[in-house]
Amino acid sequence: NTTKSFSGTMKMLYEYFDPKAQKAAPLIADDVYEIIEKNKDILDSSIIYDRDFGFDYFGFKTLEKSYLLKVNGAIVERPQHLFMRVSVGIHKEDIESAIKTYNLMSERWFTHATPTLFNAATPKPQMSSCFLLTMQDDSIEGIYDTLKQTAKISQSAGGIGLSIHNIRATGSYIGGTNGTSNGIIPMLRVFNDTARYVDQGGGKRKGAFAIYLEPWHADVFEFLDLRKNHGKEEMRARDLFYALWINDLFMQRVKDNGDWTLFCPHEAPGLADCFGKEFEDLYTSYEAEGRGRKTIKAQELWFAILDSQIETGTPYMLFKDAANSKSNQQNLGTIKSSNLCTEIIEYTSKDEVAVCNLASLALPRFVINGAFDHQKLYDVTYQATLNLNKIIDHNYYPVQEAENSNMRHRPVGLGVQGLADAFILLRLPFESDEAKRLNKDIFETIYFASMTASNDLAVKNGPYQTFKGSPLSKGQFQFDLWNVTPDSGRWDWEALRTKVVKDGVYNSLLVAPMPTASTSQILGNNECFEPYTSNIYTRRVLSGEFVVVNKHLLKDLVALGLWTPQMKDRIILANGSIQDIAEIPDYIKELYKTVWEIKMKNIIDMSADRGAYICQSQSLNLFINAPNTSKLTSMHFYAWKKGLKTGMYY
């Protein structure tokens, strides 16, 4: 029941009349509709409907359920219309770029992030995925102003990272009323209720906030209990996500079994506003002055963190010193948090809410005739970088502080999906040396292409406003901050370095591999840079339960004459593993190891290898069968020593 014509479909969406309110309620923005009408012949004729058949069943169902625009509950868009709507919404009058983007997206080379697909070309085109805020002020006014910001952002489909390091601890003196503070827990319950109440984009998904706290805060033990299933209700806030912003000094004290002092930010100000040596000096001087609330063994807090992770999967672990010392935004001030999915690391302040627009490259598409095509990856990444810049300019910002930040620093986030699929297509086991090499090379190409595009834009428009003083302005790329030298010999970094120092770049940050949960489902790829979690699983959808098999494995087993209903049941019985099935050849077993069968050390090593080309961070999930404190400890410390910014997302 959809119309074939793109312009006709957009007309229907534009002319939507709300029968209950008895008024026009267009679903397409006026300016975009005019552009479509003016160029309808070329736009209509550029659409290739056969590309709709490239989606698998779940990809189609995902689009149908959440993405394709509906009128009175009935879907009116086709997937091809969605790609064209998004392309025109991003590029407006630049029809040539819009058609180029349409072709790349509809051929599934890359995709923009969910909020961009939801909202591009609509009357309020909020196309950004991530927002980062810091608590405006430790006062009723500051807290409720921040609460209002989070509600407005959540309403327009943004995920939120919020740092609360500056909120005074329980029992602190409050000057105005001569009373004492209740600390962070009752406050977080208010944020919890807001997250539940304000859902994203008309019930598409619940509001989601990640709360960041540094481990010196006196309320940290209560903070770690917030998601637990038992205990007093009034001390719980289970709909928020929690993250620790960990300084090196804490890790060192845990390692040395030293003491750790907890402070109230009101009594020991400024700890969140510095990092590295400066933080260490301030912290130890406060300790010496006896300003601490309480001194404990560092390991007591460490084990409380691990207990919480074993029970609830959180808090996320992020390393404040790595995040700051290896950031191209370090000239702005100390970065206080990451975002909801731990891949965005951007500066926030009272008048700046950091924002990030995302897109992900579909890596399996670049496997052409048994080889990985880096030139094609370069070309698509280059175009995606141009697109993300257009989104910054054409975006609707839910709060003014977000626009301030995005226009000043222009950060963007390019990620990947289907790394595991690309390895399988190239017949490379995930832990093989060749896979490790390709992992590095892919991210070098993405970083080089996006940096080149950003430099070309700066030649045209001048550099972003706060470029001066940044590491890039001094010719320092991300890999220089890691003390790594690219060795693929594929790209001319020295020539680019000269150009960047001379003309600048248009974006402060470029690469941020995000989880890609929904978009990889649309394109039929495995998530981001993760290995497969299982080779077989059941998907519950509205119409029933489906058994889904890893499509590459299915093809291989059919080719080997090993695929039977019995084989399917044996894989299900082994929880999606094929390692103990005798008939399956060893090289197939190597190729289809699940994440539970891959050494986490290798996962962390590959994360660090690609980290040298990732100027933001990465949503790194770690998987442990039967976790215990010693396994977790060695894993966290290994990630910290490798210099990762994000030690653990889930």
Q: Is 110 exposed, middle or buried (0-12, 13-18, 19+ CB in 10 A)?
A: buried
Which distant-in-sequence residues (6+ apart) come within 8 Å of 325 by Cβ? 275, 276, 481
DSSP state of 39: T
Give me the residue label for tokens 């009323």.
177
Q: What is the DSSP string of 202-264?
A: TTTB---EEEEE-TTBTTHHHHHHTT-SSS-GGG--TTSEEEEEE-HHHHHHHHTT-EEEEB-
Q: How far is it, in rounded angstroms, from Cα 477 to Cα 475? A: 6
Handedness of CA 565, 570, 573, 577 (dihedral sign): negative
The alpha helices in 395-516, defined as continuous H runs, are 400-409, 419-425, 433-461, 478-481, 493-503
381 DSSP β-pair partners: none
Establish whether 343 is a catalytic residue.
Answer: yes
CB of 615 closer than 8 Å to CB of 450? no
* Catalytic entry in 130, 264, 341, 528: 341
Phi-psi category of residue 566: left, alpha or beta, with phi > 0 → left and psi -120 to 50 → alpha: alpha
CB of 78 closer than 8 Å to CB of 2? yes
Phi and psi, residue 242, nearest 5°: -125, 145
Q: How far is it, in rounded angstroms, from Cα 177 to Cα 186? A: 18
Handedness of CA 460, 461, 462, 467 (dihedral sign): negative
511-545 per-residue burial string, b: 16 or more CB within 10 A, e: under 16: bbbbbbebbbbbbbbbbbbbbbebbbeeeeeeeee
Q: How far is it, in rounded angstroms, from Cα 595 to Cα 584? A: 19
Establish whether 339 is a catalytic residue.
Answer: yes
Q: Is 152 exposed, middle or buried (0-12, 13-18, 19+ CB in 10 A)?
A: middle
- Please list the helix, strand and coil fractions of the chain in percent, rounded to the nearest 5, in that order: 45, 15, 40
Q: How far is it, in rounded angstroms, from Cα 447 to Cα 511? A: 7
* Catalytic entry in 77, 214, 222, 343: 343
Q: What are the E-state strand segments in 21-141? A: 23-24, 70-71, 74-75, 110-112, 130-134
* Catalytic entry in 119, 166, 324, 339: 339
Structure tokens at 623: 């998987």
CB of 150 closer than 8 Å to CB of 191? yes
- DSSP three-state, residue 80: helix
Q: What is the DSSP string of 480-504?
A: HHTT----S--S-HHHHHHHHHHH-
Q: What is the chain's alpha carbon radius of gyration, rounded to the nearest angstrom?
A: 25
Q: Could you list the active site residues?
A: 339, 341, 343
